[in-house]
Structures are given as structure tokens and as C-alpha cells.
Chain A
Amino acid sequence: MTTATEIESALRAALGSDLIESYRGADNRCFIRINRNRIRDICRILLTDFQARLCQLSGMDLGLEGLDLFYSFSLDHGEKGLHVIVKANLPREDPKIDSLTLLTESANFPERETAELLGIQFLDHPNLKHFMLPYEWPAKMESSSRTEIFGEEKSNEVQQGAAWVPLRPSKESMLASVIPIGPYHPALIETAFFKLQVDGEKILNADMKFGFNHRGIMRLMQNRSYWRDIYLAERVCGICSQAHSTAFCRTAEMINKIDIPDRARYIRTFMCELERLQSHLLWLGVAMDLIGFQTLFMLSWKDREIVMDCQEMISGARVHKAMNTIGGARRDIAKEIIPKIETKITELKKSLVTTINTVANDSIIKARTKDVGLLTKNDAINLGVVGPTARASGVDIDVRRDDPYAAYGEVSFKVITRSEGDVLAKVVVRLGEIEEALGICEYCLDVLQNVGGSLSTETSEFAEGDAFGKVEALRGELVYYIASDGTNVPKAVRMRTPSFNNNASIPYMLREQTIADAPIIIGSIDPCFSCTDRLVELEDVKTHRRYMATLKQLSRKRKRL
């Protein structure tokens, strides 16, 4: 068991005078600020000596004070809720820092994203190509100025640097062809683009691209008050709106160090589990459709409607429940409707038996999912995958148990893990979680029947400081970081969604598989893509000159027309 004191003393000994500042936050969080030259050493100590997990890597622009980077390491497998948040300040003129990608693959995506966001240069990054932006975007990652990276009007010719061409044809792959999946494809309802290099049915290599639907919510949140941010957080994703608002509220409550009333805690837990039920049923349906089992798709979506009805009964809305507020719950679950919900849940339990039995016993489902899309435990740890994807590969992490929030500390439930790491294991883990969620829901309803009291703790002013909060969303660990400057508008909000980490595992799982299995492999992590394109590529039909248009140019064009 690692304790916060042990880690602090170990880091203090290793850092010496490079440790600039260290303080404790709510819920067993240690914040330390270090000299930027030592980041790789610290990361090595935390990863190898303490088996930490890199949770989040992001940064913010402090204006004249330079750029602040923070690395959140999760150590909650040791002590409940223990996290170390390492911060480093980078001067504006020279925004360089050592890359962590050589130590852990889980730093790859966040570093590429931060490089685009803030213009930070990660030294020795093996694969520093664009992440959200199109690959053809001018190759100016080495530049420190944001305006240069995001394109001035004068330099809008496409410079197709060799580094940006994904899956360049090689001698061995001359016979192979490239199959595109996405951004618009029947297998994927959401916008992600996969290029599969195939030889016959076998996939040789895979490349993926996100960034087709970025809405800049993190930036928007910095312009609004905390109360209006709850509304935004809910709209990051429709399926996990409750998880997002719970995570945001939890983090905001940590800044003020307030506790929420018992009834509100149980309402949060109940709504989170209800959401988990509907999301996992939705996933089950989609996964079955991806292997061509249309009937089970329809059946599990029919069962899901029962959960949606419950949500509508409680909150009046099927998707955006709006149950959370900072300090507690916005809405009560009236004692009169609790028996109705209980009957609905019993009904769901009954009809789920057939679905679960069919999935467990069908020979074709077994043939299509067993040993397909293997993700080994080592890869899972290295890539930093979270949630059911990690648990199906034998990585035993669950925020609900390791860093309890809402009422999860008082509810008993099992964390379902499997060691196989294939698609079948992911199906089994999610089916197990559906059963556990039903149990938690019933327990919460029992408590809600008896526990009274107020719904929320009044809070209006926010203290200065920062907080790091996370919840177990439906696809895994959802992380929020909020920095507050004492006003009612957050200084910075940084979120890391579970799919951000899980997506990294897709190319690993796709290699050496067949095209027939590609949809179910991509679908097995329950991907959820929320990213953006900030530009449009245009081609001049007369001269075949391709160039990028900024939003400004486009708006000007519209005026002229």
C-alpha cells in the first residue's frame, strides 16, 4: 500500500531543489510543482516504482506567466483516491518539455493534442503528427507561436509534408489495397476515419483520424459561470450526460471542499447506474448489429426503452436528465414514483434473462467474438485504456471502488474483470456490469425510500485553487480538472473522456485481424468521438491548386456571394 506521505517523501528526495511547491487538495490529491527539466524523472519514478497510471495530460495558457502543463498520475490502486498532479511552467518564448511517450504510450495522444492546443514542443516525441487537425495542415509543429500553428491567412498554401501522409505505400505493401471506414460509413454512426491497409481479407496496418466534430466545449466553459457550465458539461455527450455533469459538479465541489447531502448522493448514484444500464444495453445492441445479429439488436434496444422510460419518469427527459447541480441534486425522485420505477426494473430484469442467455449460449456470437481483437494486459496498461476495455484485459481499475464518489463508498458491488482481452471478454464484462447496475439501482431505491433531508448544500462563491475529479463514466474513467481564480467563472476546465484513451488501442487490436472483424473490434471499445475540424479544404477546379480556408475567409466568401 502506497500512501500519500510515502510518495511525497520519495518525490522530495528525488527532486531536491527542483520541487518548487507542494500542497494537498480535497479527496487525497497531492499537487506538486516542479522544474520542467525533471518531468521525465518524476514520471519514471511514478510509473515504475509506484505503478502509477497517467490519467490526464493537458495545459493552459496563463498569458504573461507562460504556459502551465499538468500531468495527473493516478495511484488509487494503493490508497483510496490518491492522485499526484505534477505541474510544470513553461516560458512563452521557449515552450519545450521532454516527451513522456517513450515511457508510456498513454502520453502519445494527449501530447499531440496539447501540441496543437498550446503550441508546446514535446522533445523526442516519436510520432508528433497532427491529432485533431487534418494531416495536411501546414507542418509547423516546431513553431512556438499559436497564430503560426493555426494558420495565418498569408500562409494558407498546403505544404504536404511527408510526415503527414498516413500509411505511405511501401514495397511490401504494394499489393495491398486501402479500405476506408468512415467518416461516413454504415458501420460507424459517429465520425472517425479509419484507413485499413488490407491484403485480401487480412488487415496489415491501420491508421485512424479523429477531429471531425470538435465543438470547443472546454474553451466555451472558460467563458461561462460554473452554473451554466453544468449545462455544457451535460452536452458533451448525450449518452453519458449524467456522468459528465457528475464529474463536473464533483470537481467544482472539491474546489470549495463541500459535502453533499445524503439524499443527493443516492440520487446521483441511482441516475449514474440507470445511465450505465441504458448505455450498456445500447452498446450490446450496436455490437450485435455489427456482427449481423439484427434480432438481438432490436431486443436489447427494446429493453433499453424501459430504462429510458424510467429516466423520463424521473426527470422529464430521456437523454439530458439535468439532475445535478453543484452541491447536490436539482430534482428529487419523488417517493410516489419509486414503486413504479421498482416495477419497471423488475420487468427489465425479467426480460434481460433471455437476452443474456442468448448472448452467452449462441454459437455464432461465440465464433465471431472469441479471440477476436485481442488486447493484452501489457498493451492495455501501456496504452492507458480505461473502463470495461481495461477490465476485459485484466486491468482491475474502477473509479467507483478506487476513488468513491456520490454514494459508491456505501454500496456493495462487484468489479467485473476478465483476463482474455478479446471482444467476447468485453461483452461478458458489460453484461456483468448490467447485472451489477441493476443491483445498485435496487439498493439506491431502497435507501431513497427512507432517507430524507435536503437536496443540496448551498454554495455561491468559489475559492481560489484547483481540483482534479473523476467518475466512472459508462466507457471508463472520466477526468475533469478545474482551475479557479476565485471568480464565478472557471479559469480553465480540462476534461479527458474515456474514449480518448480507449481509441488509442484500436490500431493495436485491428492488426492481423480480418476486415469482417474490423467493425466489431472498433465497436468493442464503445467508441464515442467528440472532436473537431476547424477548417475546410478547398480545391480550385481550374488550377487544381489545393488550399486551406480559415473560417474568416469562408465568411468573407459568403458575403461576396
Chain B
Amino acid sequence: MKAFNQPGRWEKFFWPLLAATLLLSLWHYSVLWTATQVFPSPLSVEKGLAELLREHVLWSDIADSLRRVALGFGTAAALGIPLGLMLGWYPSANQVLNPVLQILRPISPIAWVPIAIVLFGVGDHAAVFLVFLGAFFPIMVACTSGVSTVPSIFRRAGRNFGLSTAQILARVVFPAALPQILVGLRMALGISWLVVVAAEMIAVDSGLGYLVIDSRNSGKRYDLVVAAMLLIGLIGLALDIGFRRLERIKSVRWGFDHES
């Protein structure tokens, strides 16, 4: 029962563009007004971005960050999904493991840096390990809760039709839990992106996070700092949108509707 004030389709582009333009102008004029020597204006950020693109360093940095995310996220999924599904299916196992997990979960992956460096030394492996830590818990929790919230009606129906436990898991429980698992994976991907950038600021010397810190440390190039930040935001957004596309393909097949 909404009033008949439906926005037109053109408005989907108009309003964000307007907001972005206002924001950019505000930014530009504050820089001019305060006559700051250090903080970059939108134009200098743009130039900085072009500079980065020309030097090949940027592409390898992006590739490094994405690679670490892929490895860490992939490993977390490979381990977390089966473990999470099992814990969801056997609540007694969940009871045993849960307290340990609840204490480990609030520890920022970054707090693991010293341990990571001891185990893997400074470099790629440490970063991948940190990404793994960041993604592992959300994925596992999503799988566990996805399985445990499958209505028992479904399980009973499976048994009614004479399916074995393995079949019930594969043909009933897993598809029913899939939307929730996918949402958990998407969130874990977002977290992975946050962690890899943070990890690269401390524990490695390549990648977008490193670019941010290095641009400041070696020459106070705040234009590059902001350019790198924007890139981080855009790539993170692209990862999220890409994953949502994936979700929608699956969701359409299973007929689920998920907005989150």
C-alpha cells in the first residue's frame, strides 16, 4: 500500500550521479579552501590513478591481493564447508567444538600476525593464512546454521521416501541449506578482502594494502593512498556483485528469494 510515487527508471542513475557529483565537488572545494598541502584533491587522485596504471606495479599488486584471497578463501571453503555441515548435522559434535570456536572467533586475524610469521615467515603464505582465518569461521557458522535450520519436515520426508543418510544429506539437506551457505560464502569473501588488505599492511611487501602504506611511507604520496583506497573499494564491490550474480543463478534454480 505505497503511495503512487514510484520513481522512474531514469532516477536509478540520476540520484547516485547527483550525490557523487556533490560529494566530489565538496571534496574538491574543501581541499582548495583549507589550502592543505598534503591531502589530495579529486583531480590529483585521478592523476595518481593514471600513474599507477601506467606503471606495471599496480597490476601485479592487484593480482597478488586477488591471488591471496583466492587461496585463503578457497582453503577456508574447502575445510569450512564440510566441517560446518557435519557440525550442523551432529549437534552433539557442535556442542563440543562450539566453546573453542566462540573464543577463537573474536580474535582479529591480524592478531595472529606474530604467530603467522613464526609459522610461515614474512610473505605470501602468512597473508594467505590470515585470509584463511578470517574466512573460515563465517563459512563454518553459515554451514552449521544452514543445516540446523533445515526444517525437520524435510528430513522426515527424506526418510519417509527411504533415502539413506548420505542421500538425505546430498539431496535434501544440502539444497535446502544452500541459500544460507551461499550468503555465508559471500560475506566471507567480503571479509577476506578486508583481511588481505590489512594483512598486506603489516606482514607482506606487495599487494594493494602494501601499496596504501608504502605510498605514504615513501614520500607521503597521499594521492596514491586515496587512489589505492578507491581501487580497493571498487574491486571489493566487484567481487560482491559477481558473487551475487552467482547466487542468483543458483537461487533461481532452487526458487529461493534472498535479499541481504
Report if A and B associate in a common complex: no
Give the B-binding residues of A (Cβ under 8 A): none
